[in-house]
Amino acid sequence: GAGVSQTPSNKVTEKGKYVELRCDPISGHTALYWYRQSLGQGPEFLIYFQGTGAADDSGLPNDRFFAVRPEGSVSTLKIQRTERGDSAVYLCASSLGAYGEGYTFGSGTRLTVV
């Protein structure tokens, strides 16, 4: 597609449940990023993929968060045992090469944990 696609656009889940958030980057973009944006804050880095591998996962807050990109295209962010504090907008971005010379962001998935 023309842009970065994220699904679902909204997700409401109960505390303790498992969720998966999907990102479909721009075709041909090798770099893919996940960010989290809490209310009133700027986006906060979670993880960066170059191809299939996670080149930098230093932003993942704890081991309940995990992300994969098995074929170097679509990525899935997985959150286990969700907590109310996980409620945020999860943003995905992609870029043609490394070093983030201007990402293209998706519209995000708004996750609400009740």
Q: Give the helix/strand (H/E) hosting 2.
A: none
Interface contacts to another protein, rule CB under 8 A: 3-4, 31, 33, 35, 40-45, 48, 50, 55-56, 58-59, 91, 93, 98-103, 105-108
Which one, 48 or 65, has the nearer CB to another protein?
48
- Shortest CA distance to 21 belongs to which of 71, 88, 84, 72? 88
Which one, 66 or 105, has the nearer CB to another protein?
105
Q: How far is the CB of 45 from another protein (least distance, A)?
A: 4
Q: How far is the CB of 69 from another protein (least distance, A)?
A: 14
Q: How far is the CB of 58 from another protein (least distance, A)?
A: 8
Which one, 5 or 13, has the nearer CB to another protein?
5
Which one, 25 or 106, has the nearer CB to another protein?
106
Q: How far is the CB of 44 from another protein (least distance, A)?
A: 7
Q: Give the helix/strand (H/E) hosting 33.
A: strand 31-37
How many other CB atoms sit within 10 Å of the CB of residue 58?
9
How many other CB atoms sit within 10 Å of the CB of residue 28?
8
Q: How far apart are CA 20 and CA 37, in angstroms?
A: 17
Q: How far apart are CA 6 and CA 36, in angstroms?
A: 13
